[in-house]
Chain A
Amino acid sequence: MPWRDTPEQWSAVSRAFHWIIALLILAMLVLGFVGDDMARSPAKARVFMWHKSFGMLILTLVLLRLAWRSINQRPVFPRAMPRWQIQAVKAGHIALYLLLLALPFSGWVMNSAADFPVRLFGWVRLPAIVAPDHELKEIAEVVHKVLVWGLITLVSGHALLAIKHEWIDHDGVLRRMLGFPSR
């Protein structure tokens, strides 16, 4: 099995990036919603420590993934896909990447502006990227929460469309990301 992407197949590296990031996104959503609901307490601080830790991990992985994609040719779209659909899918993926970068950044700004020191995974301190600023923290918080709904919408659409392609179109795009040969 080739370790670079080919026109027919996603490499193990690409697939690992995809599914690890997908799982982390799910974990993040749970941590974020549960944590937001908690009253201020050491437990809440711990929940958000994990949320912020996974968030910065996702940011790192997404940047690495983008670098990996830039030096690889991605597998071809199914022959039966009309051109408008391909354009839409590309736009959707770009939007996903943008959200996956904007979300951790807005979270990072929010954390820095709130002057809330945090040690990622209880170990290395996340440096502040802005000075303490309450208004900026409130703005970043709104941005972060709105973008989360954008992500939920896009990820749901992404997953549903992948299932549709597999079970209705039978064009193998999902199988390909799962590592099975596409035809």
Chain B
Amino acid sequence: MRRGAAWILAAVLLLAGVSAASAAQHWRVLPKSSELAFFASYDRIEFKGVFHRFDSDLWFSADDLAHSHFRVKVDVASVDTRSVDRDEVLSEADWFDFKRFPSAYFTATHIEAAEDQGFTAKADLKIRDKQHPLAFPFTFVVRGDQAHLKAHMQAKVPLNRLDYDIGSGEWADDDLVGFRVRVVVDLHLQAVE
């Protein structure tokens, strides 16, 4: 190969490599096959709830973790624990207080590879007017060919509801509603062009 052509080829390859790496892949959530759920306990009996509505801004590439980040805004009024009585209590001022705090916010940055082909991020969660940092370990499995990239993201996050003033006042003890809540994230994603 002539030297000029070799330099041009190297430059083209470098540019291609750089442009591919300057932003992580953008993903959108497939709502019908995704779930944002939590498990809490009432009288030591576990029950499940989901949030039906949430907006997410997900950028992730395993080979570009520096530019990967997540931002999720949850519509708390979309909570559904399969019990109208329970959901009505959750809307009240001592609980999520839908009127004053209609959204919960989750952001995750500083994503790093972790063991077992998983990842971990530094995350911030804000529910009501309480914001706390937390560790966010997750798995992110990409499948499909370049034209139809899909991914499956899963995470389990333990929380203490008192940290976010969920269930305060007369509900601030764990006689009935336990303090420990487990958030379970199970998202099927599609690559956005």
- Of listed A41, A114, A115, A132, residue having the most chain B CB within 10 A: A115
Instruction: From the candidates B86, B92, B175, name the one contacting A116 in the complex (CB within 8 A).
Output: B86
Indicate if the CB atoms of B83 and A115 lie closer than 8 Å: yes
Q: What sequence of 0s and 1s flags, for each residue 77-114 of chain B, a beta carbon within 8 Å of any chain A beta carbon?
A: 00001111110110010000000000000000000000
Q: Residue A183 at the B interface, CB < 8 A?
A: no
Q: Which residue of B lies closest to A131 (CB)?
A: B82
Residues of B within 8 A of A115 (CB): 47, 81-83, 86
Q: Which residue of A lies closest to B172 (CB)?
A: A42
Q: How many residues of A contact B (CB 8 A)?
A: 15
A115-B86, A116-B86 known; A42 vs B47 contact (CB < 8 Å): no
Q: Residue B42 at the A interface, CB < 8 A?
A: yes
CB interface residues, B 39-53, toward A, < 8 Å: 42-45, 47
Q: Residue A79 at the B interface, CB < 8 A?
A: no
A42-B176, A45-B176, A125-B45 known; A116 vs B85 contact (CB < 8 Å): yes
A40-B89, A117-B47, A125-B45 known; A134 vs B84 contact (CB < 8 Å): yes
Residues of A within 8 A of B171 (CB): 42
Residues of A within 8 A of B88 (CB): 40
Q: How far is the CB of B95 from chain A (nearest CB, A)?
A: 11
CB interface residues, A 132-154, toward B, < 8 Å: 132, 134, 137
CB interface residues, B 154-179, toward A, < 8 Å: 170-171, 175-176
Q: How far is the CB of A35 from chain B (nearest CB, A)?
A: 13
Q: How far is the CA of A176 from the CA of B47 in the complex (A)?
A: 51
Q: How far is the CB of B42 from chain A (nearest CB, A)?
A: 6
Do most interface residues of chain B lie in helix, strand or loop, or is the interface mixed? mixed
Residues of B within 8 A of A134 (CB): 84
Q: How far is the CB of A59 from chain B (nearest CB, A)?
A: 21
Residues of A within 8 A of B81 (CB): 115
Residues of A within 8 A of B175 (CB): 42
CB interface residues, A 26-43, toward B, < 8 Å: 40-43
What is the interface residue range for chain B against chain A? 10 to 19
Residues of A within 8 A of B89 (CB): 40
Q: How far is the CA of A117 from the CA of B43 in the complex (A)?
A: 7
Q: Which residue of A lies closest to B41 (CB)?
A: A117
Q: Residue A118 at the B interface, CB < 8 A?
A: yes
Residues of A within 8 A of B42 (CB): 116-117
Instruction: From the candidates A118, A125, A132, name the one contacting B83 in the complex (CB within 8 A).
Output: A132
A114-B83, A116-B83, A134-B84 known; A42 vs B45 contact (CB < 8 Å): no
Q: How far is the CA of A104 from the CA of B81 in the complex (A)?
A: 25
Q: Residue A170 at the B interface, CB < 8 A?
A: no
Q: List 5 A-B contacts (CB under 8 A).
A: A42-B171, A114-B84, A116-B86, A117-B43, A119-B44
**Seed contacts A114-B85, A115-B86, A119-B44; 15 additional CB < 8 Å A-B pairs:** A40-B88, A40-B89, A40-B92, A41-B170, A42-B170, A42-B171, A115-B47, A115-B83, A116-B42, A116-B85, A117-B43, A125-B45, A132-B82, A132-B83, A134-B84
Chain B residues with a Cβ under 8 A of chain A? 42-45, 47, 81-86, 88-89, 92, 170-171, 175-176
